[in-house]
Amino acid sequence: MYFKLAWRNIWRNKRRSFITIGSILFAVFFALIMRSFQEGMYEMMIDNMVSISTGHLQVHKEGYWEDRSIDNIMTLDQDVLKEMNSIANVNRACPRIESFAWITADNLGRGAILIGLDPRVDVMALDDKLVDGEVVGMDDKSIMIGEGMAEYFGITIGDTLVLLGQGYHAQTAAAIYPVGGILHFGNPEFSDKLVVMPLKLAQEFCSTEDRVSSILIELDDIVAHTEVKPKLQGLQYAEAVSVLDYEEMIPEVLEAIQADRIGGKIFIGILYVIISFGIFGTIMMMTAERKYEYGVLISIGMHRFKLFMITLRESILIAFIGVLMGFLVAFPLIYKLHHDPIPFGEEEMEAFQSFGIEPAYYSVIDLVLCFEHMLIIFCIAMVVNLYPLVKIMTLRPVEAMRK
């Protein structure tokens, strides 16, 4: 009965109800969009680092991470690799050779990061980054470079580059390779300096035989790294190895994210304060308009507690409708921008690329995050709605009807 009366009271004055619901809807919409964009930016930063550089977990010879020397690399055991791929939550294990080389073409030269990988299984997802040419095969003798490097040297598919570097145990590494593909990277450092080649070709160039610098592990779920790490440590390797997770490999990135996240939460807290006053203003207006009504009901014998319960249910229904409508309006936009990010303008693009962030408006789909902020705003709306309830309990009917 109380809910039925409350529902009728809400729609008795549609304008008043729509104003209150609209203020809550705006609060939920703005909070969800802002936090989804912020967390999406963090996810993109981590994904870029994980796919190109570190993996969710990485196995390498003990001491390699400190010096990244081509001399301190591990033997690739195919049986161990199969065991890695069979571990629960492991999507794929990707062996890599990583080194540095001096790249020249005509009279130009620059230092480059050299990555040898298996194009069929590597976490870098070369197919998604290809803008010209084709993804090299495992047995190909050609290389792939970033757009920035191709532009710097003024070369295209089929042109050749000279690579000079240091091989395993100070052997000379020198070769000429044709460019088979050009890749797009959001991070300008990778675009300008990254050279990708098949793992076999990299082992041949660096004279490492069957050795690799590291094995990158991609997980089905990033939070599973705490479960998978001890399982990787328990495998039988040919030499002493270290297993690091992405939190240990990119602490500076995570610290920057954490600092920015705190700033974002402070901003959203300020938004909540503004929202609270906005909702409170509409509630005060609603209460003032209904003061005479409350006075009449109490004077003809309606118990204050019953009026209190009806008004409480009105507040619950209005808050619930506003929060739900805010979610229903925000979620399609969040979903759209998760699967189809909108590129930034030219001015913003350079600033975000310098931080290694893909220059696009990208949102993360996180229902826990959504419900967390929906609950916060629902609670704010309920606290603000205590005002009319207090007014009912302290109202003097004669004065209310006189005014």
Looking at residue 315, what is its pLDDT? 79
Task: Give the confidence band of 177 by pLDDT, cuts at 50, 70, 90.
Answer: very high
Radius of gyration of the chain (CA): 30
Predicted confidence at residue 355, as pLDDT, reads: 56
Q: Indicate if the pLDDT at residue 90 is higher than 80.
A: yes
The model's pLDDT over 300-338, given as tens digits with 9 standing for 90+, comes to 777 777 777 777 787 788 888 889 999 999 999 988 888
| Residue 399 in tokens | 């004065």
pTM, two decimals, is 0.73
Pair 155, 179: CB distance under 8 Å: yes
Point out which residues pair with 100 in neighbouring strands. Answer: 113
Q: What are the tens digits of pLDDT across the range 41-87?
A: 888 878 877 877 888 999 999 988 888 888 889 988 888 989 999 99
pLDDT tens digits for 365-379? 888 888 988 898 888
Each residue of 6-32: pLDDT tens digit?
677 777 777 877 888 888 898 889 889
Helix/strand/coil (H/E/C) assignment for every residue in 292-312: HHHHHHHHCCCCHHHHHHHHH
Please report the pLDDT score of residue 182 as a whole number: 94
Q: Cα separation of 358 and 381, whole Å?
A: 37
On the question of pLDDT at 93 being above 60, the answer is yes
Q: For 379-393, what is the mean pLDDT?
A: 81
**What's phi and psi for 135, nearest 5 deg?**
-70, 130
- For the residues of 195-253, what is the DSSP string, one character each? EEEEHHHHHHHHT-TTEESEEEEEESSGGGHHHHHHHHHTS--SS-EEEEEHHHH-HHH
* pLDDT at position 147: 92
The pLDDT score that the predictor gives to residue 344 is 67
Render the burial of 100-114: b for 16+ CB within 10 Å, e for the rest.
ebebebeeeeeebbb
Residue 84 is predicted with a pLDDT of: 92
Torsion, Cα of 192, 198, 204, 210 (10° steps): 120
391 — pLDDT class (breaks 50, 70, 90): confident
Give the model confidence (pLDDT) of 185-226 as tens digits.
Answer: 877 788 899 999 999 999 999 999 889 999 999 988 888 888
Instruction: Report the candidate in 189, 213, 185 with the shortest Cα–Cα distance to residue 98.
Output: 213
